[in-house]
Amino acid sequence: MNNFNATSSLKSAGVGRLLVRLLWVVLGFGIVSTLLSLLEVIAKPVYRLLASLDGLVSIVSFFINLISIVVFMIWLYRLHADLRNLFKEYPITPGGAIARFLIPIYSFWGIANTLSTFADRFKVEGGDLTSLSEEVRSLIGPLYGFMIGSNILNRIALKEAVKNPEDEFLPFWFLFSCILDLGLTAILLQLAKTMRTAIIQKAKRAIY
């Protein structure tokens, strides 16, 4: 009953649950895309039989990724509205959190600032909340690594595809890109799960 009350008091609870489910779906499609890319590298005759499936997976993945980005931003906004209610003088506003993630160049500092501020505020709470805050902080480095690597490889793969579609090494670029995209999705999923758990636990403490 207390868990229900804590969850229902949070603006981010419902959309957070939806986000986690969507990221699981994105992860599933990412695994399929990676396996198909691997087939293109090691077994081209088999891949040719599944090429149309690969195209369909890419189209569906694009739309699911788009939806998940929108849901992520809604969740981020509502999460910070909840943080402002649960903590006195929480330094990041809902709009500020969105800006830190969306504005180019500024986001390079802003994403880490948003996540580290969250971790710092929960670290002093003790118990499970301290452990959850440490997990959030530990994911910041890998998040940046996968974001930067994925961005670079995606650019290289698209550039090579336009410049030389027959390049024999092109499937390797797409495979490496898929692997990094998969890692990025896994990190985002873990972040969403951890932060969602932390704020629910904090809301439960507030009720007690």
| 12: DSSP letter | T
Kindly report, residue by residue over 161-198, the tens digit of the pLDDT.
Answer: 788 777 677 888 889 999 999 999 999 999 999 999 99
Distance CA 83, CA 195 (A): 11
| Per-residue confidence (pLDDT) for residue 61, from 0 to 100 | 93
Tokens 């609870």 -> residue: 13
Domains of the chain: total? 1
Percent of the chain with pLDDT over 70: 95
Mean predicted confidence (pLDDT) in 66-79: 97
| Per-residue confidence (pLDDT) for residue 17, from 0 to 100 | 95
Distance CA 169, CA 191 (A): 34
| Per-residue confidence (pLDDT) for residue 7, from 0 to 100 | 67
Task: Look up the pTM and report it.
Answer: 0.90
| 84: DSSP letter | H
Mean predicted confidence (pLDDT) in 68-83: 96
Which structural domain range is residue 89 located in?
2-207
CA trace torsion 94, 98, 100, 103 (10° rounding):
-150
Would the pLDDT of 88 be above 90?
A: no
Distance CA 66, CA 164 (A): 28
| Per-residue confidence (pLDDT) for residue 6, from 0 to 100 | 57
